[in-house]
Amino acid sequence: MDRHALSTHPNTESPARPQVRTASGMRQRLCWHKLLPLMLMGWWVAWGVTLAEGQAEELRLQVQLIWGTDRDKPPDPSYRMLEDRLKKKLARVFKWKHYFEISDQKTTLVPKEVKRLKLRNHSEIEVRCDDPAILEIKLFGEGKWTKTMRQSVKALEQGELAVLAGDAKDSRSDAWFVIVSLNTPP
């Protein structure tokens, strides 16, 4: 015989009330007024977990426009020398001796949001995170879309950089870089 056999009450003319036979053989009536709160609590917990999974955290981004050159001085006196940590990362991959920061912006991006940031007079980027695992970066020059890059959010969390780069218009010996990284709080 099953541990919890469902039986009906034999002495009633109305529809039988379900009863449960426990392991000790005692019969107990199922009390819907006791089960309903438990069922509602289970549904509420499951619904809350689903909502929490659907709400990805916001991304705090740092966007830098960098100038790379072999010249000792930057082409514009307002450019600042790049911090050593970032300079070392760039020097491992790129050939320039000096890197200067043109602009530095911090922004916050929530899932499904699109933000457009002006980098310089004629350049902008658009960042979006439709998929919580992928950051999409679009570069615009003189109002026209020029490049799109997709970067893993996990890679950014591990300290990697998203880098868009190109040659300077007026000097093939110089280059510009747009660097997107996570802005982690100190």
Residue 106 lies in a domain: yes
Which strand (E) or helix (H) includes residue 53? helix 32-54
Number of domains in the chain: 2
The answer to whether residue 1 is domain-embedded is no
Same domain, 149 and 104: yes
Q: Are residues 163 and 177 in the same domain?
A: yes
User: Tokens at residue 135, please?
Assistant: 């950051």
Distances (CA, A) of 3 to 6, 30, 60, 76, 112: 10, 15, 56, 84, 51
What pLDDT digit, counting tens, does each position of 85-120 carry? 999 999 999 989 999 999 999 999 998 899 999 998
> How do beta strands 144-152 and 134-141 pair?
antiparallel
Predicted pLDDT of residue 75: 85
When comparing pLDDT for 148 and 75, which is higher?
148
pLDDT, average across residues 43-53: 52
* 156-178 pLDDT, tens digit each: 999 999 999 988 877 778 899 99
Residue 141 and residue 123 share a domain? yes
* Shared domain check, 64 and 34: no
pLDDT > 70 fraction of the chain, expressed in percent and rounded:
70
pLDDT of 26 = 56
Say if residues 145 and 120 touch (Cβ distance below 8 Å).
no
Q: What is the mean pLDDT of the chain?
A: 80
| Residue 78 pLDDT | 92
Q: Is residue 10 part of a domain?
A: yes
User: What is the per-residue pLDDT for 80?
Assistant: 94
- Name which of 25-34, 36-45, 105-114 the model is least confident about: 25-34
Q: Residue 165: inside a domain, yes or no?
A: yes
Predicted TM-score (pTM) of this structure:
0.67
In a domain, 102, yes or no: yes
Q: Which of 35, 54, 73 is the endpoint of a domain?
A: 54
Claim to verify: residue 118 and residue 105 sit in the same structural domain? yes
What domain range is 25 assigned to? Answer: 6-54
> Is residue 68 a part of any domain in this protein?
yes
pLDDT at residue 131 in the model: 87
Whether residue 65 lies inside any domain: the answer is yes
Q: What pLDDT is stored for residue 51 in this prediction?
A: 41
Residue 55: pLDDT over 50: no
